[in-house]
Homo-oligomer: A and B are copies of this chain.
Amino acid sequence: MKIKEIKGGVCAPLGFKANGIHCGIRKNKIKKDFALIVSDVRASAAGVYTSNLVKGAPVLVTKKNLSDGYARAIICNSGNANTCNADGVEVAENMCELVTSVGGIDAKDVIVASTGVIGQKLDITPMREGIASLWEGLGDNSDGAAEAIMTTDTVKKSVAVEFAVGGKKCRIGAIAKGVGMVCPNMATNLIFLTSDADITPAMLQKALSEDVKSSFNMISVDGDQSTNDTCCIMANGLAGNKPIDCAGKDFNAFKKALNYCTVKLSKMIAKDGEGATKLIECNVMGAKSAKNAKIIARTVIKSSLVKAAMFGSDANWGRVLCAIGYAGVDVDVDKIDVSFASRAGEVEVCKGGHGVDFSEELAKTVLSEDEICINVQLNSGSAKATAWGCDLTYDYVKINGDYRT
């Protein structure tokens, strides 16, 4: 059985309910700001988090709550990151206790997350007043939760798949938010995954930790690494597969399905980067090592000048070479080939480190699409890597010039 996309987001796996409401953290009443995802039964759980030394209080509380490997619920607000606040941990713990108060779920089994502006106190009052309605509305409402965790996201980010583990049909679902403060070398912004596969906490953590290296750690919107990045997964075992408790075929099937979801979300996050009009994918091939390939791919998609050129559909490949040159890894510049590709075609622009004649007209056509590949062949080995980013636009500046007010 192949991996097959299905509907339902985080509610696609058996035994998960979700909801999202406006509780009043945001002034704009149309924008949902409070989300809840609940599993019918206690689930194996795992997380990866920002490596920023400045960590949001919810990150600290979630890490502590997941230390035993189990969880039953995810509670999240948008509009305020609850970061750099003296009472941050207390507020985050109180958010977990809200779930206990309405659903009887142990506060230690709650994953908590916040996203929004840093350094403003998070008042729990609107959430205390809204929790009953949030709980009562729980159902097949992954989209509600996905909407409630959005900040400047322009599209909901959601995916779900079904796949087989040892002949049993299992599912993974996920929602995510991205937009700004998105940079490689971290877990990513907020990603909540659910699964009905039966898998031990240790193997679930292993799967997630390995996965993010080639998915969420390979995206960049603006090079700024958020303080609140959290990627958590709960797997409740209701699919009834033989428990995955070691590496092997079943574990690989799970990982493959997980990677399908995370790569899809990575591309959605990159494409919906703040102000972005285009998804930029950099494929680095022929590298001496996977590490080198990753560093180069990430450096290219992070370059402000490459990003601005992509916005202008300008085949300024010199900036790609320039970025490769300062990536900090050993490369033989005279072996590098570069091409730009999209659904409109492919145009080779650099061969052996030097420019080649190319049709500016074709290049413009290729780069005017909304999904662009920058293909870099290093001709120095067999390792490869892919990173995802977006173009740099007027709107990025506009959105971030006055975010707080």
Considering the complex, which residues of chain A in the window 316-339 have a beta carbon less than 8 Å from any beta carbon of chain B? 316-319, 321-326, 330-331, 333
Minimal beta-carbon separation of A280 from chain B (angstroms): 14
Minimal beta-carbon separation of A82 from chain B (angstroms): 11
Considering the complex, which residues of chain A in the window 357-405 have a beta carbon less than 8 Å from any beta carbon of chain B? 360, 392-394, 396-405
Minimal beta-carbon separation of A189 from chain B (angstroms): 13
Of A115-123, A195-203, A245-253, the one contacting chain B is A115-123
Of A12-20, A21-29, A159-167, A306-314, the one contacting chain B is A306-314
> Is the pair B397, A308 in contact by a Cβ cutoff of 8 Å?
yes
Minimal beta-carbon separation of A333 from chain B (angstroms): 5
> Is the pair B318, A84 in contact by a Cβ cutoff of 8 Å?
yes
Cα A265 to Cα B353 in complex, Å, equals 33
Q: Report, as a range, how many residues of chain A touch the other chain.
A: 35 or more
> Is the pair B326, A225 in contact by a Cβ cutoff of 8 Å?
yes
Cα A404 to Cα B314 in complex, Å, equals 7
Cα A403 to Cα B86 in complex, Å, equals 47
* A305 at the B interface (CB under 8 A): yes
Known: A226-B322, A227-B322. A401 touches B312 (CB 8 A): yes
> Is the pair A222, B304 in contact by a Cβ cutoff of 8 Å?
yes
Considering the complex, which residues of chain A in the window 147-192 have a beta carbon less than 8 Å from any beta carbon of chain B? 180-181, 183, 185-186
> Is the pair A84, B401 in contact by a Cβ cutoff of 8 Å?
no
Cα A393 to Cα B304 in complex, Å, equals 12
Of A48-56, A138-146, A207-215, A286-294, the one contacting chain B is A48-56
Q: How many copies of this chain does one complex carry?
A: 2
Cα A259 to Cα B353 in complex, Å, equals 37
* A355 at the B interface (CB under 8 A): yes
Cα A316 to Cα B338 in complex, Å, equals 39
* A83 at the B interface (CB under 8 A): yes
Known: A52-B325, A326-B53, A402-B314. A304 touches B84 (CB 8 A): no
Known: A314-B405, A322-B118, A331-B53. A180 touches B305 (CB 8 A): yes
Minimal beta-carbon separation of A283 from chain B (angstroms): 19
Minimal beta-carbon separation of A61 from chain B (angstroms): 17
> Is the pair B227, A83 in contact by a Cβ cutoff of 8 Å?
no
> Is the pair B400, A305 in contact by a Cβ cutoff of 8 Å?
yes
> Is the pair A309, B223 in contact by a Cβ cutoff of 8 Å?
no
> Is the pair B223, A304 in contact by a Cβ cutoff of 8 Å?
yes
16 cross-chain CB contacts under 8 A: A53-B326, A84-B321, A84-B353, A85-B354, A117-B316, A117-B318, A118-B318, A119-B318, A119-B350, A224-B303, A227-B318, A309-B400, A315-B404, A393-B397, A394-B394, A394-B397
The 5 A-B pairs with the shortest beta carbon distances in the complex, nearest first, are A118-B318, A312-B401, A54-B325, A308-B400, A119-B318
